[in-house]
Amino acid sequence: MEKRSTTTAWVIVAIAFLGGVALACAQNKVPPVIDVVMLGFGIGETDAGWLTSVFTIMGMITALPASWLLQKLGAKRIGVISLVCCAVGSAAGAFCTDFWMLLATRVVEGVGVGMIAVVGPALIAMWFPAEKRGLPMGVWGSWMMVAQTLLFCFGGGIASAWGWQGVWWFVFGLCVIALVLYQWRVREPSGDMPNHAAGEESEEFHFGEGLKSGSTWILTLCGLIFNFCCFGFATYISLYWAQTFYGGDMAASNQWIAIMYALEVPVVIFLGWVMNHIRLGRRKFMGVIGFALYTFILFVCFRMDDPAMILPFIIIYPFLEGAIPTTYWTLVASTAKKPEYAGTSIGILNIGLNAGVLLGSPVTGFFIEHFGWAAATWPLAIASVVGAVLFVFVKTYYHGHSEDVVPMEGQEA
């Protein structure tokens, strides 16, 4: 255990971030090579969507137990377990020749992402007080975008050289590197500082109490809707652009997607910095505005018919998508009624996030396969409107770190 210092905190956040990127790469490795996978296994868009979304079944199952295990085993051990699960699942998947066996290995990998998604924000909540979490949570909120940038940039080239299996081995290597760094450097703070987010035993900690915050559940619905929308979009957008603009050339469309997600990385970090300068009770409105504007771009994403629209699309999209995860990751620990239940709130949020991924890709794929590309924009846009409305009702609780959080006795979840 170590005393908290800014340098130590950021080193640990960086390693947690790398672990998150490794598992996000595992989760997102299908879309950049979806054409190769569909051809290799003889499947359609709906089944290909399940390859992305089934990953999250174990993520949903392990999200809450992970928050409880965080109390028992600590963040380091849970991070190590998650990376081992993902590495094993990815290596096993590379040897699969049957679609259903590949699907099973994706479930094994999902055990890892369900845990790491709790560990990363919990480590930030341990090492940073509430008023300083905006920037590190903004960095953490970019883990998916960094992974998507890497995969859309290099996934096609790797698959051309070594088949889709090469992408699976690439993810395996990332997991091993992150695992070594976790084992070497990740620690939890000690001594005189609060450590309720995860890791310390408390005589007053009762797991069931952490489930009673209505605000946490509302934020979880927001997260579910966001992942439903963004994974429905991300799984198929490269395929749509390839078919519409590039005669089926996925490499050409993948490069545009890689640029788009690369742009989103500094955007979410900037939005995290902005969060640090907004009163905590008002931060939810970044999510409200983000969802409201996100609705419009989702409605046009599978209706574009002019390649000139691609450049403005990839410039605008990162700001609208990036605002939402930055908001819910920053707020989630403060939706717990007491600080010792912050880990439980993070676990609940991750159930919603995984449920959104589980539904987003196959539902969107179903609409594409049976009703066409344009029809698939309707469920995405409608869901985004609901997300904007729900964000209005998210409330935060005073945990003693910042005057800007409304005291619990002055509000109800």
Amino acid at 369: E
Mean pLDDT of 179-198: 69
Cβ(389)–Cβ(224) below 8 Å: no
Beta strands in 274-406 (DSSP E): none
Cβ(196)–Cβ(340) below 8 Å: yes
Provide, rounded to the nearest whole percent, the portion of the chain with pLDDT above 70.
Answer: 88
Determine the Cα–Cα distance for residues 283 and 391; give it in Å rounded to an integer: 10
Amino acid at 104: A
Average pLDDT score, the chain = 84
At 191, the pLDDT band (50, 70, 90 cuts) reads low
Alpha helices in 29-53 (DSSP H): 34-41, 45-53
Say what the pTM is. 0.74
How many residues would you count in the chain?
413
Residue 332 clears pLDDT 50, i.e. is over it: yes
Backbone angles phi, psi at 2, to 5 degrees: -130, 155
Determine the Cα–Cα distance for residues 210 and 387; give it in Å rounded to an integer: 23
Question: pLDDT tens-digit profile of 84-141?
Answer: 999 999 999 999 999 999 999 998 888 877 778 778 888 888 888 777 777 887 788 7
At 203, the pLDDT band (50, 70, 90 cuts) reads very low
More confident call, 302 vs 326:
302
Q: What is the DSSP code string of 157-168?
A: HHHHHH-HHHHH
More confident call, 204 vs 300:
300
Determine the Cα–Cα distance for residues 110 and 346; give it in Å rounded to an integer: 17
Beta strands in 39-161 (DSSP E): none
The token pair that represents 43 in the structure block = 């499947």
Lowest mean pLDDT segment, chosen from 224-228, 249-253, 296-300, 363-367? 249-253
Count the alpha carbons within 13 Å of 358 in the hemisphere toward its beta carbon: 17
With a CB cutoff of 8 Å and minimum separation 6, the contacts of 383 are: 225, 228, 229
Fill in the DSSP letter of residue 330: H
